[in-house]
């Protein structure tokens, strides 16, 4: 009998240990809303985008409450949108202390602090260039009361990481010193890590303080940056080409290499191709042209290749590929596409550009 009790106690302790290990990463997010002119309906809680809904509650007399369990060691971006009983969709924003293009900036997102309180009145507006309709409204919620992570987000200009240039580094560094435990800053640096030099990223990492330095994102970025800091010979990486063979991406006989990262699903990428064809015909004897698809579905890539009929070298790689990190480091890869680089005869990046370029811009990009 005593042996049975001992066994039962041991099993109970094991259960507690297992249970605690499963729940110690969970965090309860409380969101309380009291917005006097919010219509009755349903309000949705999302992660990052409106499409990624994680919870919903009924709104009555402007009041709503969420109790959401966050199963993550790191904060996440969250947003709210509302649909009233008449089916009117409300796109919501939150006032911040930051700016965008030197104008006031309202954020569609906040961070998953423990307690979020939203109290006051909403304000309806119509963005410039958007035709007003009866089924969609743009509204600003009252200024929210939250914690450190949201406060940091709301004090970082919305365009800080747009068009990164030589002045961006100092601005980011100052913001880290102001908010040294900000996950928004860490996430943004990680997303744009190849737009900064390895030394700059290293200085960013040294400026963070607190528990953030033990986070998964921080340590992954640190390890990635250490690889960038390693001295290496500039030899061309190899990837799978359009006939399924492994081939060197760059040919050393050229003095310049134009490399375009794209994908079959990317509208601006496909829009750029006709102009790229004309530029290829103009420079093909002087400049090597290479397109690298980031498609996760190889068949969609092959279908696009057949339709677009691009006559220069074609390769494929995606984030799940074993070669991805090597490619990301070598080409200082951006998270956005189309992404166009120009490399010199030593296979060093001369310049890079994110976004759609016209034929004229491509010509100028190569010739200057």
Helix (H, G, I), strand (E, B) or coil at 173: helix
Report the distance separating Cα 216 and Cα 227, nearest Å.
17
Measured at the alpha carbon of residue 362, what is the angle toward residues 302 and 345, in degrees to the nearest 5?
A: 85
Q: Which two tokens stand for residue 317?
A: 């790689």
Indicate the pairing of strand 123-125 with strand 41-47: unpaired
Measured at the alpha carbon of residue 149, what is the angle toward residues 146 and 150, in degrees to the nearest 5?
A: 45
The answer to whether the beta carbons of residues 318 and 338 sit under 8 Å apart is no
Contacts of 211 (CB under 8 A, 6+ apart): 181
Indicate the pairing of strand 41-47 with strand 77-84: antiparallel
* Per-residue confidence (pLDDT) for residue 17, from 0 to 100: 47
Q: Which two tokens stand for residue 309?
A: 């009929």
Measure CA of the first residue to CA of the last residue in the chain; give whole Å: 88
Residue whose entry in the numeric block shows the structure tokens 């800080």: 160
The answer to whether the beta carbons of residues 276 and 362 sit under 8 Å apart is yes
Longest dimension (CA), the chain: 90
Report the distance separating Cα 68 and Cα 114, nearest Å.
10
157: region left, alpha or beta (phi > 0 left; psi from -120 to 50 alpha) = beta
Handedness of CA 126, 127, 131, 137 (dihedral sign): negative
Burial class of 74 by CB neighbour count within 10 A (0 to 12, 13 to 18, 19+): middle
pTM, two decimals, is: 0.77
Contacts of 212 (CB under 8 A, 6+ apart): 180, 181, 182, 183, 186, 218
Residue whose entry in the numeric block shows the structure tokens 């550009």: 353
Q: Which two tokens stand for residue 194?
A: 């190849």
The answer to whether the beta carbons of residues 140 and 123 sit under 8 Å apart is yes
- Domains in the chain, please, with CATH? 26-146 (2.60.40), 168-229 (no CATH), 238-367 (3.40.30.10)
* Per-residue confidence (pLDDT) for residue 185, from 0 to 100: 98
* Per-residue confidence (pLDDT) for residue 5, from 0 to 100: 54
Mean pLDDT by groups of 10 residues along the chain of 368 residues: 55 48 70 96 90 93 95 93 93 94 93 96 83 85 95 96 88 96 97 91 96 96 90 81 94 95 95 96 95 95 96 92 87 88 92 91 92
C-alpha 179 chain-centroid distance: 20
* Per-residue confidence (pLDDT) for residue 126, from 0 to 100: 80
Report the distance separating Cα 74 and Cα 76, nearest Å.
7
Handedness of CA 358, 359, 361, 366 (dihedral sign): positive
Residue whose entry in the numeric block shows the structure tokens 């007399």: 61
* Per-residue confidence (pLDDT) for residue 145, from 0 to 100: 95
Sheet holding 26-35, edge to edge: 63-71, 26-35, 115-120, 144-145
DSSP 37: T
């Amino acid at each position: 009998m005593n042996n049975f009790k001992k066994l039962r106690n041991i099993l109970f302790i094991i259960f507690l240990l297992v249970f605690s290990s499963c729940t110690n990463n969970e965090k309860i997010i409380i969101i309380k809303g009291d917005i006097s002119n919010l219509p009755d309906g349903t309000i949705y809680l999302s992660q990052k985008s409106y499409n990624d809904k994680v919870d919903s509650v009924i709104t009555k007399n402007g009041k709503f409450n969420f109790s959401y369990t966050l199963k993550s060691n790191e904060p996440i971006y969250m947003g709210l949108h509302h649909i009233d009983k008449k089916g009117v969709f409300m796109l919501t924003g939150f006032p911040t202390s930051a700016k965008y293009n030197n104008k006031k900036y309202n954020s569609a997102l906040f961070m998953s602090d423990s307690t979020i309180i939203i109290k006051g009145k909403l304000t309806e507006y119509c963005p410039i260039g958007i035709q007003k309709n009866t089924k969609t409204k743009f509204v600003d919620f009252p200024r929210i009361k939250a914690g450190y992570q949201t406060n940091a987000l709301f004090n970082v200009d919305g365009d800080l990481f747009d068009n990164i240039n030589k002045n961006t580094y100092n601005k980011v560094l100052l913001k880290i010193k102001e908010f040294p435990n900000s996950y928004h800053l860490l996430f943004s640096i990680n997303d744009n890590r190849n737009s900064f030099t390895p030394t700059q990223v290293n200085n960013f990492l040294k400026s963070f303080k607190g528990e953030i330095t033990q986070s998964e994102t921080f340590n992954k970025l640190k390890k990635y940056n250490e690889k960038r800091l390693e001295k290496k010979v500039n030899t061309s990486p190899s990837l799978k080409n359009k006939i399924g063979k492994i081939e060197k991406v760059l040919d050393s006989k050229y003095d310049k290499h134009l490399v375009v990262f794209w994908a079959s699903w990317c509208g601006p990428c496909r829009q750029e191709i006709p102009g790229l064809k004309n530029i290829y015909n103009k420079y093909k004897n002087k400049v090597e042209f290479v397109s690298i698809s980031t498609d996760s579905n190889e068949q969609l890539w092959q279908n696009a290749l057949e339709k677009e009929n691009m006559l220069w070298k074609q390769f494929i790689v995606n984030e799940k590929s074993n070669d991805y990190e090597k490619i990301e480091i070598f080409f200082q890869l951006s998270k956005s596409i189309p992404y166009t680089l120009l490399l010199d005869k030593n296979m060093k990046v001369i310049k890079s550009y994110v976004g759609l370029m016209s034929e004229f811009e491509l010509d100028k990009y190569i010739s200057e």
